[in-house]
Structure 1
Amino acid sequence: MYADESYPPYSYVEYGQLKGVYPEIFQKIFSQMPAYSVRMVPVAWKRGLLLLEQGRGFALFPPYMRQEERPYMSYSDPVLTEETAVFCLSEVAAFRKRGQWPDDFAGLRIATNFGFATGGGKFEEMVSHHLLLKDEGPGNRSNILKLLHRRVDCYINDRLSVLWEMDRIYAEFPRLQKTVAIAEMGTIRRENAYLGFTNLNPAQFPFKEDFVLQFNRVLRGMRERGEIAEILLRYQRP
């Protein structure tokens, strides 16, 4: 099972260890699935998608549901609801209305993560018509650093993830907090995140149907007992 290696605090690598909200949730789920032994392997997000698209990987977390863009993938029950937000340089925000996404951001350079379809259909349409520029980067940290060094105007990603990583960067580079101001300019959308499974190569994964049934059953029980919310709370900003 593959995990995004650069999506803190949800799923990330620190000192060679996979950490985060999803690994913690899934480890607890798998401990209640004694018929299965599961290894979670961190990879770059785009590579994880490719492994499922080629039928070489069994599962990947945490995708949003993109049935048209990723017909090779099926999904578990929703695990968490994430909130995608847009963050911009304060000098850019001062001259933009806090309104319609993505129309009010025309002409700007917007950072996104490789393989993340977070901006929506109209955003991609505006990119294709050169009404704004999409600047893809390998992960949260690299894109926030681009924003803090004014190489892009805005960055879109999960709100908790951006705030978490921004706090870590400011602690590491206090000067940046004093010299570069970032403004949160609103929520783009709220979306469920899942455990995604390949639809290809069924002979290699004959246990898939049973695995998904057991996974969903344990997940529902944890949610009903408040265990999912309890894990997420530990990663919230103080």
Structure 2
Amino acid sequence: MAHKREPGSLYVVATPIGNLGDVTLRALEIFKEVDLILCESAKETRSLLSRLEIVTPVLALYKDSSESPYSSILEQLAAGKSMALVSDAGTPGVSDPGSQMVRTAREKGFRIVPVPGASALTALLSVSGFQVNPTYFLGFLSEKPSKKHRELERASEIDGLVVFYESVHKLPRLYPMLVELFPETEVLVGRELTKTFEEVLYYANPRDLLAKPPNAKGEFVFLLNHRKKTLKGNSDSTDM
């Protein structure tokens, strides 16, 4: 179905997390139709748009500057301009910048339109084989080891799936924490999802992960099957 641009709207658009083929037809239409694309990094977004043969202007929101472009953006939205908001990869606002722009636009009464697409979170959940209700998403864990330990300690009290992202250089400190706090929990690791060297690795418990860790390169998402009761029968939901 063809997209009809709504004047004065902000489209929050997911972009591929690795495989260019994951861009949606709707995202392509919106990129071509909007007046401006708000982005995390102008360089990264221009590279993506170039491969998609799209020439819509871009504006980086997250420069190292105390000056905010929001007032100018709001003025343009008020004048009837439509805009797309993207991050470097994935969905804006989901462990990526974007929340502040959305909140600011909503407070001013502008229409916010979600345009879903690729996500490391949902990609790993889809191939887990685990009952996914409930799922607790922690985003990126804290930089400081002590704070990270507290976050995981709180998560260990959860009855359900625990999902989080972690930077590759922090993995050596992460694994012992998982052994300590989730000793009998199944672990699924997604590395470089949708990319050339994609891996989805299953471990019966964190000790196995510590004994044979994945290649420490790329981007990682972790899924802990911390359900305290084994569910029997088919309890999959078809609501979403």
TM-score (norm 2): 0.31
Higher strand fraction: Structure 1 or Structure 2? 1
Q: Radius of gyration: which is bigger? A: 2
Q: Which one has the bigger helix percentage?
A: 1
Q: Which has the higher contact order (CA 8 A, sep 6+)?
A: 1
